[in-house]
A and B are shown apart, each in its own frame.
Chain A
Amino acid sequence: MKISLEWLRDYVEIPAEFSIRRVAHDLTMSTVEVEGTEDLARLLDHIVVARVSAVVPGTRADVVTCDIGSGQVTIVSVQRNLTAGQRVAVALPGARLVSGNDGAGESTLVAAREIDGVASEGVLCTTEQLGLAALFPAAGKGALVLSDADTDAGPGTPLADAVGWNDTILEIDNKSLTNRPDLWGHYGIARELAAIYRLPLKPLPAPPAPGTPLPLVDPAFDARLCRRFFAARIAFEPAPSPLWLRSRLARVGQASRGLAVDLTNYVMFAVGQPCHAYDADRLALPLSVRAAQPDEKAVLLDGREVVLQPPMPVIVDQRGIVAAAGLMGGGPSAVGAATRDVVLEIANFDAMSVRRMAATLNLRTEGSSRFEKAVDSWRVDEGRAVFFDALARSAPGSTLLGSTDVHPRPTAPITIDVGVEFLQKRLGSPMPREEIRARLESVGFAVACRDASLEVGVPSWRATGDVSLPEDVLEEIARLHGYENFTYVAPRVALHRLPLADRKPIEQRLRELCARVGGLHEVVSYPWSQDASLDAAGLADAVHVALATPPGPDKRWLRPSLVPGIVERVVENLRYATDFGLFEIGRVFPRGDAASLSDARERLPYQPRRLAGAFVGENAEQLFVAAKGLLEELGRAFGTSLRFERGVQPPWGDSGASVGIVCGDVAQAGFLAVLGARTRRLAGMKRAVAVVFELHVDALPAAGEPAGGYSPLPLYPETAIDLSLIVAEGIAWSDIEQALRGGHELVREVSFVDLFRGRTIPPLHKSITLRLRLGHDARTLRSEEAAEVDAWARTTLKQRFDANPRQAESVPG
């Protein structure tokens, strides 16, 4: 929202020595965020009013001589609408003109130069070049010609003076205004500044006498939609909108739309009360307010046709809809240049109804933005006062014929009892009662002292939801005192039995392990899945929870697993990299028992945590053991063990390399698999191998610690023997391990050393090297015992798996 400093000064005498930076800062600290300021006069630097002395037509441009007060200048001008005697705006060297055609474009610096052999000492400006199109909406093509009605400024007058552009604009962040319906006009901001600087706030003009009662409004309108409806009939003297009025509106960003409409806009920007002017000749009075009927059509001011639905609030006359209440007037009843009989509506519409209508129609207006913040019904009186004052100044020949004011649901007064000690304790300051009172009164609160408490009357403009509690009163005092002006004291905290802060959260520990031990990069994906990715991962049937208004038509399902997202990230990154790993931790939304977490009525979907990751490269077996190694390490870190169950295959896994994860006593704690062929094909993964895992985080003991077990070191030296054997591909390491573990009293440990396939190994076979650690608790081994164990192991494996020794000479290298 734009606020004009010049306009504010109508209501509060801000000292001239206060810089705009200071005003912006003080408003930001106490009231609303000022996003920026703009010095309008600077935009018109070096641009002056000039009188055309002579025009010499040329073939491509005219040579125009102008009186600029200090002398004559010659300008070669492509604008050819000028004749001697007219007053124009001349940009002298050093001026900056808008060069974009929408007024928001870049600026060009004006310089003296020679054009077609003639020295040109400036530019005759169009309204667009001046950035003043909103101020002169009626200006035709060509250079701006100033009218006598607008200004009597003589040659040499700075244009900024002539058009009221000696002003600074405060840009206020609308988001910081949502709770303050009183601040949506200059008077409300002026009230704040008056309070901040402890200056008097000037009263608004007095409202006029209501005139003859006229049946302009049917008093039986729907009071749920409209708290108050004031209407006045005015014999209107058609007149151009005066420059002062257009100028104020243009400076706050509102283009002139003719006198009657400009006056209604003026009221809105002055006191925040939207209002509307109708052409009485096009109405079948009286007016009323009701909810729209199903599929009721209306044509609005801007020409758009809208289809309205109950309970959208509409204003109707005896024939039908004449306005979408609080949003926009109707097209057919709009005032025009010739309108002489005007019905003025200043009403108060229900905030939620207006907002819902604006949202449903996807149409927001200055009026609806104000009504939806909940304007109080007494604001209508301020609106009346400002309107008729401005009307008298703009079109003195207009007269008020009469009015109707129906006020079925006035904004109710609010009184709050606040303890002084309550305030002082929370302020952290022994602020005296009189200072508290002065602070509150400065923004319109009525304060009466009662022993240890204050009886605080809330002004009507703050009584529509903004201020209703002692805490609201506290905030008023604190912000007006200035948060920066309090002494900041360290808290005095009684050390009751505080919870011993847990060790790091489980996600934090898992993330650190994945990055530091696994070498994986963390990614995050949206919680919704793409349909295609769900299908690729074979999870299209696993979905359970959908969004009502999804971010895309193919993104309505919340992810039942992290894997579809992981596969997407793998495929995307394969464009740039060949060997990498990534992981994600997050919640998923598969089928499962709904939980009522905190409230018996609340049934929340199952939303467990998962950890998923991918190891991407060329060698499936190496990647698989890396992933498995990481998972085992995670288990160890939490003091549990992860085991891997063969014959369990996730829908996205390869049948040749899939296992289920068993975590402690949780049997189905996830999957580890080479990404399957179908998933690869559908996901568009054409190269590399990905080993993907997904682990149920909640299967890990959250507070688990690495098992700190100790076993004594062997008392007698141990020895180790290595065996290299050739077995068929179908023989798994775990089969061999099981066959040897516990099979001989001297075997302490069976460990895997190496797996080899190659030229020297028969087809469909592989060579496995393993190590047996041997020892005895009570004595040193004899040398022949190692040979006995070696023979035992070879025999056992030969019998069980037809394992043959690998010939030493066949070992490469």
Chain B
Amino acid sequence: MTSLSDIELIAQRASGRIRDADTADDLEKVRVDLLGKKGEITALLKTLGSLDGETRRVVGSRVNELKENLTGALTQRRVELNDQSSLSQPVDVTLPGRAPGAGSLLPITRVMHDLNDAFAALNFEVYEGPEITSELYEFDNLNFPPEHPAREAMDTYWLEGSENRQSAERLCLRPHLTGASVRYMQTHKPPFRFVYPGRVYRNESTDARHERAFFQYEALIVERDFSFTSGRLLIENILGTVFGRPVTTRMRAGFFPFVEPGFEIDMQCVLCGGSGCQLCKHVGWLEVMPGGVPHPGVFAAAGIDSNEWMGFYINVGLDRLVMMRHGIDDVRLFHGGDLRFLSQFR
């Protein structure tokens, strides 16, 4: 015989089952178990007839109330379940992600773009010189002495047919970017500031540290009053932007024909912070860029009066910088074209 306390027990259990049903199928099964032809509540209703009057009224009213409550709870739970998902099958959320349109840029390109942005913020113009150029622009205008070894075939890629000519008629793949600076200066009026990134070529054997083709980034600023002490601040500013944090540099004597005075600019080792490690050969400093004040001979070639104007060159070897930034140990990987390497730089 069913007592009111039994009914309460059934009610609690039934509410629990409805709450716990996780899928529409589960819920349907619960409905059948409770309210189906052979369901628990249906069976309970069938027993009411055997009860006496007052008991039947009390119990009957409680069972009907329960049936209504459960029917409501089932409906509510069904809506809840329907709102949860419209998928016929859940998605395997552990599958590896795949970005649409996920190509990659050469890591050197990325640094080049970063530098473009950094210099653009300082209002530098972007300029590009030709890749095939002449001895006039790459050597004569840049104060390279006539007997300088870089003028020889063993260092520079001269073009067939022009290799025995002179100056403007002797053509080569550009061995550095600096020649383009004179082209710019000849066609613009100072003051100016511009960058001219690109690839340059040297005739040499390749190994893990040497390439025939490599990337440089060069900048020149020309103002009436621009001491090299200001140039150094400019460099720290740019390096800080590229590395995303303040960078400590030092400036020391260096020699390049097209600058006077010339500098080597070292950056405190990014790996050890200056205490000495393998990357910096235990000196705590990394050579990142040469720079200097345009040689009066260069200004003269560019048609600029070096008594009136002062300037500052910065040249960054991008291959080395990128190798440092990513810990890449072989410079040949950049030109290797191997997507297993290149696709790492998304």
Contact = CB atoms under 8 A, between A and B. Distances in A.
Contact of A511 (B109, B157, B187, B226): B109
Interface string A782-808: 000000000000000000000000000
Given A471-B260, A484-B251, A505-B116, A604 B171 contact: yes
Given A478-B228, A483-B263, A581-B103, A471 B343 contact: no
Question: Which of A487, A595, A597 has the largest number of chain B CB atoms within 10 A?
Answer: A597
Contacts of B295: 471
Nearest to A504: B116
A459 interface: no
Interface in A12-39: 28-33, 35-36
Contacts of A378: none
Nearest to A470: B296
A604 B106 contact: no
A546 B120 contact: no
B103 A176 contact: no
Interface string A346-370: 0000011001100100000000000
A547 interface: yes
Interface in A546-597: 546-551, 556, 558, 568-569, 572-573, 576-577, 580-583, 586-587, 589, 595, 597
A520 B103 contact: yes
Interface stretch (A41-49, A203-211, A494-502, A770-778): A494-502
Interface string A426-446: 111100000000000000000
Given A505-B126, A505-B128, A491 B225 contact: yes
B197 to A, nearest CB: 9
B53 interface: no
Name B's interface SS: mixed
Contacts of B263: 483
A508 B120 CA distance: 13
B254 interface: yes
Interface in A448-504: 465, 469-472, 474-475, 478-479, 483-484, 486-494, 496, 498-502, 504
Interface string B182-207: 11001100011100000101010000
B44 interface: no
B4 interface: no
Interface in B186-238: 186-187, 191-193, 199, 201, 203, 212-213, 223-230, 232-234
Contact of B233 (A30, A491, A500): A491
Interface in A180-209: 180
Nearest to A588: B131
Contacts of B153: 548-549
A484 B250 CA distance: 7
Given A426-B293, A519-B103, A602 B136 contact: yes
Interface residues of B, number: 93
B187 A598 contact: yes
A488 B116 contact: no
Interface in B134-181: 134, 136-137, 145-147, 149, 152-154, 157-163, 167-169, 171, 173
Contact of B106 (A352, A501, A523): A523
Nearest to B265: A483
Given A471-B295, A607-B130, A525 B337 contact: yes
A547 B158 contact: yes
A512 interface: yes
A605 B149 contact: no
Which bucket holds chain A's interface residue count? 35 or more
A484 B128 CA distance: 33
A565 B226 CA distance: 44
A552 B80 CA distance: 73
Contacts of A519: 100-103
B101 A517 contact: yes
Nearest to B225: A492
A598 B137 contact: yes
B47 to A, nearest CB: 53
Given A33-B264, A525-B337, A598-B183, A487 B229 contact: yes
A109 to B, nearest CB: 22
B274 interface: no
Contacts of B227: 425-428, 489, 491
B105 interface: yes
A601 interface: yes
Contacts of B152: 359
Interface string B241-261: 000000000111111010011
A9 interface: no
A581 B103 CA distance: 8
Contact of A491 (B201, B230, B255): B230
B76 interface: no
A522 interface: yes
B132 interface: yes
B95 interface: no
Contacts of B212: 526, 551
A352 B147 contact: yes
Contacts of A589: 132
A499 B116 CA distance: 15
B154 A549 contact: yes
A607 B103 contact: no
A435 to B, nearest CB: 17
B187 A556 contact: no
A582 to B, nearest CB: 7
Nearest to B224: A494
B302 to A, nearest CB: 10
A515 interface: yes
B60 interface: no
B132 A522 contact: no
B339 to A, nearest CB: 5
B223 A491 contact: yes
A602 B103 contact: no
Given A359-B149, A518-B101, A602-B168, A576 B230 contact: no
B251 A607 contact: no
B230 A572 contact: no
A360 B94 CA distance: 66
B21 interface: no
B158 to A, nearest CB: 4
A516 B203 CA distance: 35
A545 B261 contact: no
Contacts of B69: none
Contacts of B191: 493-494, 496, 498
A527 interface: yes
Given A484-B251, A515-B104, A474 B123 contact: no
Contacts of B100: 519
Nearest to A24: B283
A427 B192 CA distance: 21
Contacts of B116: 504-505, 508
Contact of B253 (A479, A581, A601, A605): A479
Contact of A478 (B133, B145, B167, B261): B261
Nearest to B100: A519
A800 B199 CA distance: 55
B108 to A, nearest CB: 8
B338 interface: yes
A573 B338 contact: yes
A601 B340 contact: no
30 contacts: A30-B252, A30-B253, A355-B147, A356-B147, A425-B225, A428-B230, A429-B229, A471-B261, A471-B295, A483-B253, A487-B229, A488-B229, A494-B191, A498-B123, A508-B116, A514-B103, A515-B104, A517-B101, A519-B100, A521-B103, A522-B104, A525-B337, A546-B160, A568-B337, A576-B338, A581-B103, A587-B130, A599-B136, A604-B130, A605-B159
Given A602-B136, A604-B171, 18 more contacts: A180-B255, A425-B227, A425-B310, A474-B261, A475-B260, A479-B261, A483-B250, A487-B229, A488-B233, A493-B223, A500-B123, A501-B126, A505-B116, A524-B335, A549-B154, A558-B173, A599-B134, A602-B169
> What 8 pairs between A and B have smallest CB-CB spacing?
A428-B227, A475-B261, A515-B103, A352-B147, A491-B230, A601-B168, A548-B163, A471-B260
